[in-house]
Structure 1
Amino acid sequence: MGFSRRILLVGLLSAASLTAACAQKAPVDEAGRALEPLSIVTASGEHRFMVEIADDDAERERGLMYRPPLEADRGMLFQFPAAREQSFWMKNTPSSLDIIYIDPTGRIVSIASHTTPYSEAPVPSNGAANGVLEIRAGRAQEIGAKPGDMVRHSFFRP
C-alpha cells in the first residue's frame, strides 16, 4: 500500500471514530443540561434516576435555585472532594426536596425529608459526607430509602 493510501485510510478511520464518539453523546434534559445515571438500592430494589452533576463551587452554590419541581426520576448530585460534615439550605429554591447525604463508599449517611422551600435554615448531614443528592420531596420515602442504603454512581467507591 502506498504512503498516500495509508494516510487516506488513517484519515477515514479517524473520521469514523469521531463520528461514532459524537453519536454517543451524554443524555441531556429539556434545558440542555447533561445528565448521568444514578441508582439508590433499598430493601424494595434498585431505583434509577438521571442526575445533573454539581462538582464545582459555582454549580454547588447555584444548585436547584429558581428551578421548577423535579420529575420523579431526576435529581442533582453534589460532589465534594473530601468527606466532611455538610450543610445545605433551600435559599431561592421554590420546591421542597429530599436531601440525601452520602459517604465516599456510596452509603447514605442521613436524609432530610421535605425540606422547606426558600428557607435559609441549615440542613446538616449529621455525619461525614462527600456526596449530596437532591431529589423531589417524598421520593426517598416512596422508594424506602434510609441511612445505610447504597447509592450507585461512578463518583462513589464501594
Structure 2
Amino acid sequence: MKMSPRRLSLSIALLACASIAQAQTPQGKSLQLSAGMHLIQAEVAATEAQRVQGLMYREKMPANAGMLFVFGNPSTQCMWMKNTPLPLSVAFIDASGKIVNIEDMQAHTLDSHCSTKTVPVRYALEMNLGWFKQKNIKPGMSIGNLPAVR
C-alpha cells in the first residue's frame, strides 16, 4: 500500500510520540503521565527489585520527572527514604487513578510514609518535594495514563 507523503509524515510523528511516551531509561521503562494539565515523565518500578531500589542514591531529578511504583494487589503501601538524598513527595493512588493521599518525605530518613488504611492503593508516584503542592494537585484528583496491572 502506497502512502501519501502527508500520511507518512503523520504516521512517523505518531510513532515518535508513542516511543517518547513509553521510552526506556537506564533504570527501566518510562512513561508519560498526566496530572490535570501537567505532564510527568515517570520511570516505572513494577518489579520487587525495582521497587526496593526506587530512587535510592539519586542526587537529582528533573522538575517534571518522577518514579511510579506499581503494586500487583491493591493494599496499604508504605515508603521510606533510606539511602535517598532527594527530599520527595509521594502520592498514593488507587486502581482507578485517583490520588488517595500525599505525603512529604525528607532525605535519608527511616520514617514510614503510608497510604491511608481505608482505601487500598495500586500505585505510588514519587516527585521532587513540593511538586504536588506547587501544581495544586490534591487528594481526589486523578493521574492519567497509568499502566494496566496484570
Correspondences of 1:84-103 after superposition (within 5 Å)? 84-103=75-94
Residues 98 and 104 of structure 1: is their aligned pair in 2 closer, same or farther, counting only changes over 3 Å? same
* Residues 81 and 117 of structure 1: CA distance in aligned 2, closer, same or farther (over 3 Å): same
Deviations 1:79-108 (A, max 9, x none): 001111110100100010010000000000
Determine which structure has more spread, i.e. the larger CA radius of gyration: 1
Shift of 1:32: 6.8
The answer to whether residue 37 in structure 2 is matched with residue 57 in structure 1 is: no
Partner-residue secondary structure (3-state), 1:61: helix
Matched residue of 2:121: which SS? strand
- Partner residue in 1 for 2:32: 37
Conserved? CA contact 1:104–1:156, under 8 Å: no
Cα distance in 1, alignment partners of residues 50 and 109 from structure 2 = 19
| Alignment match of 1:121 (pick from 95, 101, 111) | 111
- For 1:155 and 1:83, locate their aligned partners in 2 and report how far apart those are by CA, in whole Å: 14
Cα separation, 2, equivalents of 1:50 and 1:40: 11
Q: Which residue of 2 aligns with 1:152?
A: 144
- Unpaired stretches in structure 2, ≥5 consecutive residues: 1-11
Aligned equivalents of 2:23 and 2:64: distance in 1?
14
* TM-score (norm. length: structure 1): 0.75
- SS of match in other structure, 1:118: coil
On the 8 A contact 2:91/2:99 being kept in 1, the answer is yes
Amino acid in the other structure paired with 1:139: W
- What letter matches 1:99 in structure 2? V
8 A contact 2:56–2:85 mirrored in 1: yes
Instruction: Give, in whole Å, the separation in 1 of the partners of 2:130 and 2:121.
Output: 21
Deviation of 1:155 (Å): 2.0
Q: What is the match of residue 17 of structure 1?
A: none
Compute the TM-score of the two structures, normalised by the length of structure 2: 0.79
Is the Cα contact below 8 Å between 1:84 and 1:129 reproduced in 2? yes
What value does the CA root-mean-square deviation take over the aligned residues? 2.2
SS of equivalent residue, structure 2 residue 96: coil
Quick one: distance in 1 between partners of 2:72 and 2:82? 23
Q: How many residues align?
A: 131
